Structure 1
Amino acid sequence: MRAAPVVDGAIAGAVGSAALNIVSYLDIAVRARPASSTPEQTAGRLADLAHVDLGPEDQAANRRSGLGPVVGYGLGIAAGALFGALAARRRIPLPVAVGLLGGGVMASSDGSLAALRISDPRTWRRADWVADIVPHLAYGMAAAATWRRLRPPSRRGR
């Protein structure tokens, strides 16, 4: 398999990640809710697990703040690349692609939060789930639409 489907998938994942962030920030603005601290906590926990010293606490806090979104984009781009590898020679209906992409990233993200003991999704309230599902749906829709744009049926299988 050539790299083009994986690269196209990664591009679709980057677009999906941007859409996820836009929807999340709009939710913060509309509901006047605080931003989630889980990206920074995830970056900190991953740094700890990798035995990476982020420096004195004031610098470490800034580094976690910068690395949190990078980890999120990395997950979104990697998920898109994986989708590209798996979908390269198949025609996946758009609603299925949206579900696979959005649901896959949501499961990976929420599973990571649970595995790293940052949050337990089993304890989330309805508002917490809505704040999680809607941006991941936006990710899935934007990534799937971008995939379709980059890989129209006439290009698949090449």
Structure 2
Amino acid sequence: MRAAPVVDGAIAGAVGTAALNIVTYLDITTRARPASSTPDETAGRLADEAHISLGPEKKAANRRSGIGAIIGYATGIAAGAAFGVLAARRRIPLPVAAGLLGGGVMATSDGSLAVLRVSDPRTWRPADWLSDLVPHVAYGVAAAATWRRLRPPSRRRGR
């Protein structure tokens, strides 16, 4: 029995998310830069908007950190699942798939930062954009390649 396209897409999204995180941590290690605080801040803003207390500050900081990471994984996996639905009956060339996946996740993440007023991408410097772009390219390439591996062209056409 073969898996549904949404499941294969979610798997591809999980692989892409792992690639994004690895590239991000390599950047942190190579440039000795601090980790971004935006995932934690996003989690805090969402909790505030939902009127959910995360507890006393020490525990709240730890919860924001955990929730921020979960939001990142959820975004990557959900994007892969959505791509699975979109691409289930179409042959999307690998570079196009990588661009759709990476660009879609980047737009979702950066758009969320702007909407929640965690950060304003319009004020980012070129180095900030590069730090954001490279991991999202890695996400797109890894997710698209995984999709292609799970659903080779002959399988998508029902052969």
TM-score with structure 2 setting the length: 0.96
The gaps in structure 1 that reach 5 residues or longer are: none
The 2-side partners of 1:54 and 1:151 are apart by 41
Separation in structure 1 between the aligned mates of residue 144 and residue 49 of structure 2, nearest angstrom = 33
Structure 2 residue runs without a partner (length 5+)? none
Matches within 5 A, 1:51-66: 51-66=51-66
- How many pairs were matched up? 157
- Tell me what 1:69 maps to: 69
- Return the alpha-carbon distance in structure 1 between the equivalents of residues 144 and 86 of structure 2: 13
The 2-side partners of 1:49 and 1:152 are apart by: 43
Cα deviation for residue 157 of structure 1 reads 4.4
Letter in 2 for 1:93: P
Residue 15 of structure 1, CA deviation: 0.3
CA apart distance, 1:154: 1.4
1:145 equivalenced with 2:145 (yes/no): yes
Quote the Cα distance in structure 2 between the aligned partners of 1:11 and 1:40: 25
TM-score by length of 1: 0.97
Q: Which runs of 4+ in 1 moved over 6 A?
A: none
Distance across 2 between alignment mates of 1:87 and 1:20: 21
The Cα shift of 1:155 comes to 1.3
Q: After superposition, where does 1:68-107 map in structure 2 within 5 Å?
A: 68-107=68-107
1:112-131 counterparts in 2 under 5 A? 112-131=112-131
